[in-house]
Amino acid sequence: MVDRRPWITVLSHLVMIVGVLIVAFPLYLAFVASTHTADAIVQSPMPLLPGAHLWENYQAALFGSGKLGSNTNVMHMMWVSFVTAMVITVGKIAISLLSAFAIVYFRFPFKMLCFWAIFLTLMLPVEVRILPTYKVVAELGMLNSYAGLTLPLIASATATFLFRQFFLSVPDELVEAARIDGAGPMRFFKDVLVPLSKTSVAALFVIQFIYGWNQYLWPLLMTTSEDMYPVVIGIKRMLAGGEAAVDWNIVMATAIVAMLPPAAVVMLMQKWFVKGLVDTEK
Amino acid sequence: MASITLKNVVKRYGTGKTAVPVIHGVNADIKDGEFIVIVGPSGCGKSTLLRMIAGLEEVSGGDISIGDRVVNNLEPAQRDIAMVFQNYALYPHMTNFENMAYGLKIAKVPADEIKQRVDKAAKILELGHLLDRKPRQLSGGQRQRVAMGRAIVRQPKVFLFDEPLSNLDAKLRAQTRIEIQKLHNELGITSLFVTHDQVEAMTLAQRMIVMNGGVMDQFGTPEEVYNTPATTFVASFIGSPPMNLLKNAPGGKAGQILGIRPEHIDIVASGGWEMQVITVELLGAERLVYGTVGGEMVTVRIEEAHSFPKAGDTIRIQPREERRLHWFNAETGKRI
């Protein structure tokens, strides 16, 4: 950088540090709150340094303490969230890869119609679709099940478009060389297209996993039994204490635990992004 | 190895009344083991013709036969061919070994035979030390050799080359040209080579197909194409600098075009034709004299050592031999 004004570097660093602090501070507070007793938190001012009850709070949160608020085992809710997020992610990626493949590499009747139909679904927000979807899921008897939690969320137009754009950039000669080598369409898909799409798949994996993990409206609507609640709903239900005081320390501990898997996915996948960005060349 | 027969091959884009014909009936008999170059300017249909033989384009009319089989309706993989592309078309995520082995893997060739064939091809092309690398770690010339290796291991009946040297720099082009020639001498497989470069055509071809606007103007050896071009197009396309074509040559009949190559004209003291010199270029071993004869542009090539005129001079030039004169019908462009 040929910048002869060092104060701009200082300024930009300052802005970024302030930004990080603003974003990270609530997380820090949540962590601190999860290490104190419930009474210590509600006193004002709220303590700013971690307390001594970390292990017992997390134990209580993860394995159920039989106290007020939700009685649910957070470990089980984490499991529900994890399965939901993974199924949505893997399902979305698989379906979008295949539909983008069909749209880009095949000619079939009503192809343009299908393409525009997929595109149109982007224009319908969730809130518009949610009641009809609920009705269909209820009639199929999928309420309160993993299938109901995941299937309606699997089809994705954005992922299809992302892969379509990527496939359009694959040179035609690769397809021709594969044809001459004797590779049929699915062979070509499996041996050439999918390996080349690794970066896009990694990027989509992260985005969709977090999307699936954070699902709130749909699970809230269609699950009624506690053992099908994802963890984000569990957290909310802990706050529905009614007359009793809320165990904020347990709630915060649960929140921190709930944040860990998405954070882990982002960190693990980062390696793949960077590798993919560095490796691009056809 | 096999012969290739093209019988009235036609290609149209689109259907019905709005169909655009791009190849208008090509007939050719290519013998087993021949190295044929298909040469012509951009848009003349040479790549389309090659791709029809490969099976990458559908044939609109006529028959293409490889060996004794008519292959019009066969998939590329069933025609027993191998192709080398202009952009190499190597699979970027596979190693060079895997790139060369891919076709064999799909054909379910046993693993040790695959290794044997790939190693043999790598030896011929001097790629042995590069087999574990990926294509992006190789230079352009090396990538093209991997692409050729991929073609060789298939042990096909026909090699198809689609302008394989166009993406290489000049020095590499000359080197790879020689390697292709060596390969053909060693393996003797029938080869079709498409290029727009007439130098490549003249140096590599045993016979060449000169194409113009979807029509095959001439199919002959380099000598035939150079010494007896069949049309004005072939006459001006082959040979550098291009042949002089005079509509109103002194001593010529009306409706006829005279062709004479710059290297077959001498500057004489008297007799011959009068030429107004416009400019003289030194090219190292030779000089090119540009001027007009009877208002038409003429180029004369003289040895560097000889005396040469200056711009603005009037000189006399004469064709060296009678047999170096070529006469063409002015309307059809065909040789008389």
Of all residues in chain B, the one with the smallest CA distance to A197 is: B93
The alpha carbon of residue A270 is apart from the nearest alpha carbon of chain B, in Å, by 20
Residue B21 β-bridge partners: B12
Which residues from B are below 8 Å from A173, CB to CB? 85-89
Give Cβ neighbours of residue A161 (< 8 Å, ≥ 6 apart).
A100, A119
Tally Cβ neighbours within 10 Å of residue B17.
Answer: 5
How far apart are the C-alpha atoms of B195 and B86, rounded to whole Å? 10
Q: Which two tokens stand for residue A264?
A: 């882990």
Q: Which CATH superfamily is domain A74-279 in?
A: MetI-like (1.10.3720.10)
Find the CB nearest B77 among A174, A180, A196. A180
* CB contact (8 A) between residue B103 and residue A192: no
Q: Does A107 touch chain B (CB under 8 A)?
A: no
**pTM of structure:** 0.81
Whether omega for the bond prior to residue A26 falls within 30 degrees of 0, making it cis, is no
- ipTM exceeding 0.90, yes/no: no
* CB interface of A with B, residues 164-183, below 8 Å: 171, 173-174, 176-183
Asked, colleague to colleague, whether B4-229 and B241-329 share their fold, the answer is no
* CB contact (8 A) between residue A183 and residue B102: yes
Q: Which two tokens stand for residue A171?
A: 């040179």
Cα dihedral across residues A164, A165, A170, A171: positive or negative: positive
Per-residue burial over A91-123, b if 16 or more Cβ lie within 10 Å, else e, is: bbbeebbebbbbbbeeeeeeeeeebeebeeeee
Q: Which two tokens stand for residue B131?
A: 């087999």
The tens digit of pLDDT for each residue in A192-217 reads: 999 999 888 988 899 899 988 988 88
Chain A contact probe: residue of B93, B114, B150 with most A CBs at under 10 A: B93
Those residues of chain B whose CB sits closer than 8 Å to some CB in chain A are 54-56, 75-77, 81-83, 85-93, 102-103, 106-107, 136, 150
The tens digit of pLDDT for each residue in B115-170 reads: 999 999 999 888 889 999 999 999 988 999 999 999 999 999 999 999 999 888 88
The alpha carbon of residue B99 is apart from the nearest alpha carbon of chain A, in Å, by 10
Q: Which CATH architecture has domain B241-329?
A: Beta Barrel (2.40)
Q: Which two tokens stand for residue A38?
A: 């419930």
Q: Which CATH superfamily is domain B4-229 in?
A: P-loop containing nucleotide triphosphate hydrolases (3.40.50.300)
Domain ranges of chain B: 4-229, 241-329
Q: Does A281 touch chain B (CB under 8 A)?
A: yes
Q: Does A195 touch chain B (CB under 8 A)?
A: yes
pLDDT in 10s for each residue of chain B, 336 residues: 689 999 999 999 988 888 888 999 999 999 999 999 999 998 898 999 999 999 999 999 999 999 888 999 999 999 999 999 998 899 999 999 999 999 999 999 999 999 999 999 999 888 889 999 999 999 988 999 999 999 999 999 999 999 999 888 888 888 889 989 998 999 999 999 999 998 899 999 999 999 999 999 999 999 999 999 999 999 999 988 999 998 888 777 888 899 999 999 988 888 888 999 999 998 888 999 999 998 889 999 998 878 888 888 899 988 988 888 899 988 888 988
Q: State the DSSP H helix or E strand holding residue A186, giving kind and residue range, or none if neither.
A: helix A185-188
